């Protein structure tokens, strides 16, 4: 694996999931791999789980970790080519990426969508510029349109539950549901989860369904051929996994079209499922998107899912280290 | 030791002080204990000594350290239960604590008093929520009402001096004195120092006296039965240790009732003592709270006291690691 | 080496350059030197290369690294002696430096010029106060008037090129050129580069020339006896190395006297050189100070120069560790 920017960088998803589960069972078994290797974690945006879990995973593998908050520890970076740099950005990504690439064996980057210009966000400029100029493997720590370390953790979590619960159907039903929120949020997690679940569905591992209010359709490249059901209750019928997430509109880009509170997941919603599990990538605003009762019920997987971020990152870093 | 939130978590204070002195004499002797163990240091507020000394102590013990500034590296955390999270806090402490607890073997937390609502501050919500939800040991890096790592360092410092100076009385006189300041500061250090010194006094190790202007009485649970003397000069008579600190009023909560500069400690004040040592937890505003002459005199212990923060943290972390 | 504040702390520059090249060839050969040793990196200002390269160098040497952003992770520090601290600075450098010196074996400090008061900046108060009170070796990570780790990296870079390119003259011509900028920037890099190149010139290694518009003369202690040519084109004639940097006026302290765009380096400028190499310490504002064409040409050394910051820091830290 040379980069981990999206699902397209994964050659064997089953093996990667298994590698994550192996890391969870035996975290320090590959500690020799990272000796005298350094990962740089570059944050253009805030982070809790990604910051800590990736750092932890790298340390489990024996790596050194260097963290930098862009615009706080350092200055802003110019992303556009050919411009006269007479504004507030003191350094160009060409130099910054190339230089960081000389100090690090692997670079992780977090850079959210700005939600102003859809074409710009979906071009994934920051990731691609880093991948182009850094000359070392790049790991996506959540980009404008994707969050693949989260999606891998989600796959690991679903696989864990499936192995533990023999009563689950051979192809459990996984439902991605939009949740209400007052702020415009990126589509990254919804996009990525769809991309990865579509792959799992095509491999015959699950059945995948998307539900959201009209106007919240994800980009076709992510939604794929998954059935979209605008009636949330109908979508929840017989579901084994409910995956909640808010995102702003893709078609009316970055807009909040509705905050309809009936889309927030409560126990009433969960009761329509097949004793389904509830998943969310966190952070989650309690009682706005999901009720306390759901989050504090045994059906909630959100903490285990977050815990699995460590093993997701470790599986990816291990594969990259092996190929260095 | 499962948590280190206050003196109540200490089973054998003499042994803990000795452990700190042992760490100072031989910092790397227990390096095996922390191998492949991780401490997360979570700062809701600024820090210099606590940040560096705790990190250093953990590294002396062979641990990995992950540091996060809440509200800067990540977003704000909601502390109240059962609320609709439609404000500026993006994540609830329930999830944040549980997740950090999955990445870390020990968590250190700094969260100051807000000095707006006494009941809220004295409930010590942040510490208790972390202790409840993280499911790993919590270390208090200064909370709303206590700073026990400082108090342990203070005990270590006094013990060091006592062993070195045979001319000291069997029960040296320790005086906690309020100092003037124009800003309202928390009671945490004053509270904790009183709590720990009362314990030392009860064990027959010292004599403990508190002096401050009227209206600055500490909460009874901390002041205990220590004599309170409103005349600072009288309190200083024959003292072996002067411990200076400003705090805002507990009774008129968070108020600055006086800035009387005569309470600032000068050499004239120190001359009333028994060639007493001067202690302060730092940071200290020179010439506002204490004169240059006192801080730069051989009677000042402030640097040694700060240096002992490393050994205080190491003693606590060692005891927690041993019990993991 | 007890401190690394300026060239004056270097006893054998040739040996130090060779040590940097040795570290580049074999980064982990001296890893035993830093075992159980800690460097504290204290930033009063933003940093990218210095932050990452010094951290990396310390880790290559087996050291632990603690990083603190003053005014962000902690509070502001008072630098003046004898003042009544009733302003916005909560701690004095006397205490801060002494305390950090107790937690760290080496301290690195970055503190830029404020460009308000020339005497104050050129007194180098922060560095000298740290050196005075910390009681451990201090490394200059760019101070008000100097950036010696950069200058050492520059020497390493020039030496590398000279060894690789036998067609270079025995004493290659190195030109420091002022570049236009709309913001007032410190003189530190220009000062330091001049100081180090004057030493190389005196040792018969290079020929050194400075070019800038009138009014941008560097302080005599740095410019030394190097020829100053106000005609940039003339200065570039036959040059082997062009070192570009903006600085504000020293004589009219901190002022931007001109932004004349003709001083920005383009390929036309470079064509007057002896197929010269282009150097810049970064960050560089593209097309304001230097054209894209120059930075992206094979004549540009800027990335290699930045990469050599790691080996510059490692050479310095190694020498300090050896003398601890």
pLDDT of residue B191: 98
Exposure string for B5-25, b = 16+ CB within 10 A, e = fewer:
bbbebbeebeebbebbbbbbe
Does residue A43 belong to any structural domain of this protein? Answer: yes
Residue A172's nearest CA partner among A32, A295, A274, A53 is A274
Task: Note whether B174 and B158 are within 8 A (CB).
Answer: yes
The total of other beta-carbon atoms located within 10 Å of residue C104's CB is 24
What CA–CA distance (Å, rounded) separates A60 from B37? 10
DSSP summary character for residue C217: P
Where in the sequence is the domain holding B277, given as residue range(s)?
149-306
Judge if A298 and A164 occupy the same domain: yes
Q: Evaluate whether residue C185 is within a structural domain.
A: yes
C285/A contact by beta carbon, under 8 A: yes
Beta pairing class for A228-229 and A207-211? parallel
Walk along chain C (324 residues) and give the pLDDT tens digit of each residue: 999 999 999 999 999 999 999 999 999 999 999 999 999 999 999 999 999 999 999 999 999 999 999 988 888 899 999 999 999 999 999 999 999 999 999 999 999 999 999 999 999 999 999 999 999 999 999 999 999 999 999 999 999 999 999 999 999 999 999 999 999 999 999 999 999 999 999 999 999 999 999 999 999 999 999 999 999 999 999 999 999 999 999 999 999 999 999 999 999 999 999 999 999 999 999 999 999 999 999 999 999 999 999 999 999 999 999 999
Instruction: Give the residue from chain C lying closest to B65, CA to CA.
Output: C66
Cβ neighbours, 10 Å, residue C263: 21
d(CA A147, CA A219): 15
- 3-class secondary structure, C243: strand
- C202 is a domain residue: yes
Same domain membership, residue A164 and residue A138: no
Residue C1 lies in a domain: no
Please, are residues B93 and A282 in contact by the beta-carbon 8 Å criterion? no
Q: E strands along chain C, which residues?
A: 38-43, 64-69, 77-78, 91-92, 106-110, 138-140, 173-178, 207-211, 228-229, 241-245, 277-279
pLDDT (0 to 100) of residue B255 = 98
Whether C233 and C108 map to the same domain: the answer is: no
B74 and B155 inside one domain: no
Q: Is the pLDDT of residue B71 over 90?
A: no
Q: Is B92 on the interface with A (CB under 8 A)?
A: yes
- Domain membership flag for residue B2: no
- Pick from B181, A287, A271, B66: which is nearest to C85 by CA? B181
* Cα–Cα–Cα angle for C293, C295, C299, rounded to 5 degrees: 95
Scanning A145-164 for CB atoms below 8 A from B yields: none
Mean pLDDT, range A244-250, rounded to an integer: 98
Q: Is B83 in contact with A286 (Cβ distance < 8 A)?
A: yes
B91 touches chain A (CB under 8 A): yes
Distance from CA of C306 to the nearest CA of A (A): 6
What is the C-alpha separation between B320 and C19, in angstroms, rounded?
Answer: 43
Only one residue has tokens 């329930």, namely: B94
pLDDT exceeds 90 at position A49: yes
Distance CA B149, CA B316 (A): 8
User: Which H or E element spans position A39?
Assistant: strand A38-43
- Kindly state whether C266 is in contact with chain A, defined as any CB-CB distance less than 8 angstroms: no
A86 touches chain C (CB under 8 A): yes
Are the C-beta atoms of residues A232 and A211 closer than 8 Å to each other?
A: yes
Q: Tell me which chain B residues have a C-beta less than 8 angstroms from the C-beta of C95.
A: 282-284, 295, 302-303, 306
Structure confidence by residue, pLDDT tens digits, B271-323: 999 999 999 999 999 999 999 999 999 999 999 999 999 999 999 999 999 99
Q: For B208-230, how does the pLDDT look when each residue is reduced to its tens digit (9 = 90+)?
A: 999 999 999 999 999 999 999 99
**For residues C212 and C236, is the Cβ–Cβ distance under 8 A?**
no
**Closest listed residue to residue C317, CA positions, set C189, C185, C67, C136:** C136
Q: Is A82 on the interface with C (CB under 8 A)?
A: yes
Assess whether C164 and C301 both reside in one domain: yes
Beta strands in chain B (DSSP E): 38-43, 64-69, 77-78, 91-92, 106-110, 138-140, 173-178, 207-211, 228-229, 241-245, 277-279
> Do B166 and B150 touch, CB atoms closer than 8 A?
no
- Asked if C46 and C110 sit in the same domain, the reply is yes
Which residues make beta-bridge pairs with C279?
Answer: C243
What is the token pair recorded at C137?
Answer: 């070796």
Across the interface, whether the CB atoms of C303 and A99 are under 8 A apart is answered: yes
Pair C115, C186: CB distance under 8 Å? yes
Examine the domain organization and report whether C22 and C136 are in the same domain: yes
* Exposure string for B126-161, b = 16+ CB within 10 A, e = fewer: bbbbbbebbebbbbbbbbbbbbbbbbbbbbbbbbbb
Cβ pairs A/B, distance under 8 A: 88
Q: A72-81: which pairs have CB atoms within 8 A and are 24 or more residues apart? A: A72/B72, A72/C69, A72/C72, A73/C43, A73/C46, A73/C47, A73/C48, A73/C51, A73/C69, A74/C46, A74/C47, A74/C48, A74/C51, A75/C46, A75/C48, A75/C283, A78/C286, A79/A125, A79/A126, A79/A129
Which one of A36, A73, A104 has the shortest CB-CB distance to C51?
A: A73
Answer whether residue A75 shows pLDDT above 90. Answer: no
* A107 close to A143: Cβ distance less than 8 angstroms: no
Percent of chain A with pLDDT over 70: 100
Same domain as A282, residue A157: yes
Whether the CB-CB separation of C23 and C314 falls below 8 Å is answered with yes
How far is Cα A317 from Cα A306, in angstroms, rounded to an integer? 17
pLDDT at A7 over 90: yes
**Which member of A74, A94, A102 has the closest CB to residue C48?**
A74
DSSP letters, B9-28, are: G-S-HHHHHHHHHHHHHSTT
* B36–A contact, CB cutoff 8 A: yes
Residues of chain B contacting C83 with CB distance shorter than 8 Å: 286-287
The answer on pLDDT for B57 being more than 90 is yes
C141 at A interface, C-beta within 8 A = no
Model ipTM? 0.97
Together in a domain, B95 and B161 = no
Is pLDDT of A3 > 90?
A: yes
Backbone angles phi, psi at B135, to 5 degrees: 60, 20
Residues B129 and B156 in one domain: no
Closest-CA residue in chain B for C71? Answer: B46
Contact C21, C157 (CB under 8 A): no
Same domain, B195 and B164: yes
pLDDT at residue A116, rounded to an integer: 96
B85/A contact by beta carbon, under 8 A: yes
Residue B1 lies in a domain: no
Report the C-alpha gap between A267 and A295 in whole angstroms: 10
The yes-or-no verdict on residue A71 having pLDDT over 90 is no
In terms of domains, do A190 and A122 share one? no
Q: What are phi and psi of B31, to 5 degrees?
A: -65, -25
Q: Which residues contact C213 (CB under 8 A, 6 or more apart)?
A: C178, C230, C257, C258, C260, C263
**Please, which residues bridge with residue A118 across strands?**
none
Phi-psi sector, A78: left (phi>0), alpha (psi -120 to 50), beta: beta
* Of the partner residues A47, A72, A295, the one whose CB lies closest to the CB of residue B74: A47
Do residue C48 and residue A86 have CB atoms under 8 angstroms apart? no
CB nearest to B306's CB, from C36, C85, C99: C99
By C-alpha distance, the chain B residue nearest A289 is: B85
Radius of gyration of chain B (CA): 20
Q: For B108-121, what is each residue's pLDDT tens digit?
A: 999 999 999 999 99
Residue B157 lies in a domain: yes
CATH of the domain at A32: 3.40.50.1370
Angle between helices C93-103 and C125-134 (to 10 degrees): 50
User: Which residue in A66, A74, A99 is closest to C306 by CB distance?
Assistant: A99
User: Scanning every residue of chain B, which has its alpha carbon at the shortest distance from the alpha carbon of C68?
Assistant: B48
* CA–CA dist A287, B111 (Å, integer): 25
| Contact present, A192 and A227 (Cβ < 8 Å) | no
Asked if residues B209 and B232 have their Cβ atoms less than 8 Å apart, the reply is no
- Considering chain B, what is the average pLDDT of its residues? 97
- Chain-centre distance of CA C199, in angstroms? 15
Query: What rounded mean pLDDT belongs to chain A?
Result: 97
Strand, helix or coil for residue B145: coil
Pairing of strands B228-229, C38-43: unpaired
R_g (Cα) of chain C, nearest Å: 20
In chain C, what residues touch A75 (CB-CB under 8 Å)?
A: 46, 48, 283
User: What is the chain C residue with the closest CA to B259?
Assistant: C86
Task: Write the DSSP string, A143-211.
Answer: -SS--HHHHHHHHHHHHHHHHH-TTS-SS-EEEEEE---SS---SHHHHHHHHHHHHHHHTTS-EEEEE
Give A190's contacts (C-beta < 8 A, 6+ positions apart).
A176, A178, A218, A222, A245, A247
Within 8 A of A55 by CB-CB distance, chain B residues are 66
Judge contact between C215 and C179, C-beta under 8 A.
Answer: no
Contact C114, C126 (CB under 8 A): no
**Is A1 contained in some domain?**
no
Total domain count, chain B: 2
* Test mutation, C44, C302, C303, C309, chain A, max A CBs within 10 A: C303
Residue B197 DSSP label: H
| pLDDT tens digits, B293-305 | 999 999 999 999 9
Distance from C-alpha of A76 to C-alpha of A59, rounded to nearest angstrom: 28
């Amino acid at each position: 694996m040379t980069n981990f920017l999206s699902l397209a960088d994964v050659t064997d998803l089953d093996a990667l999931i298994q590698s994550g589960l192996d890391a969870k069972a035996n975290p320090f078994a590959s500690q020799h791999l990272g000796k005298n290797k350094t990962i740089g974690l570059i944050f253009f945006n805030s982070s809790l789980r990604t910051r800590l879990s990736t750092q932890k995973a790298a340390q489990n593998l024996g790596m050194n970790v260097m963290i930098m908050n862009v615009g706080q520890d350092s200055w802003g970076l110019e992303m556009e080519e050919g411009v006269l740099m007479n504004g507030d950005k003191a350094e160009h990504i060409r130099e910054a990426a190339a230089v960081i690439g000389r100090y690090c064996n692997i670079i992780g980057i977090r850079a959210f969508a700005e939600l102003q210009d859809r074409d710009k966000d979906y071009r994934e400029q920051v990731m691609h510029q880093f991948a182009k100029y850094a000359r070392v493997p790049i790991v996506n720590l959540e980009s404008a349109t994707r969050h693949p370390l989260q999606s891998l953790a989600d796959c690991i979590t679903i696989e864990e539950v499936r192995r533990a619960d023999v009563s689950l159907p051979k192809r459990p039903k996984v439902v991605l549901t939009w949740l209400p929120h007052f702020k415009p949020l990126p589509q990254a997690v919804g996009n990525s989860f769809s991309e990865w679940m579509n792959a799992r569905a095509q491999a015959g591992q699950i059945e995948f369904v998307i539900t959201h209010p009209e106007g919240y359709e994800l980009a076709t490249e992510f939604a794929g051929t998954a059935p979209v059901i605008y009636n949330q209750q109908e979508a929840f019928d017989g579901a084994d996994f409910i995956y909640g997430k808010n995102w702003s509109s893709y078609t009316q880009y970055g807009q909040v079209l509705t905050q309809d509170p009936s889309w927030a997941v409560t126990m009433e919603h969960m009761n329509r499922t097949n004793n389904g599990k509830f998943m969310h990538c966190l952070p989650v605003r309690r009682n706005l998107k999901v009720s306390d009762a759901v989050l504090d019920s045994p059906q909630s997987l959100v903490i285990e899912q977050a815990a699995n971020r460590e093993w997701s990152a470790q599986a990816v870093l291990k594969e990259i280290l092996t190929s260095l």
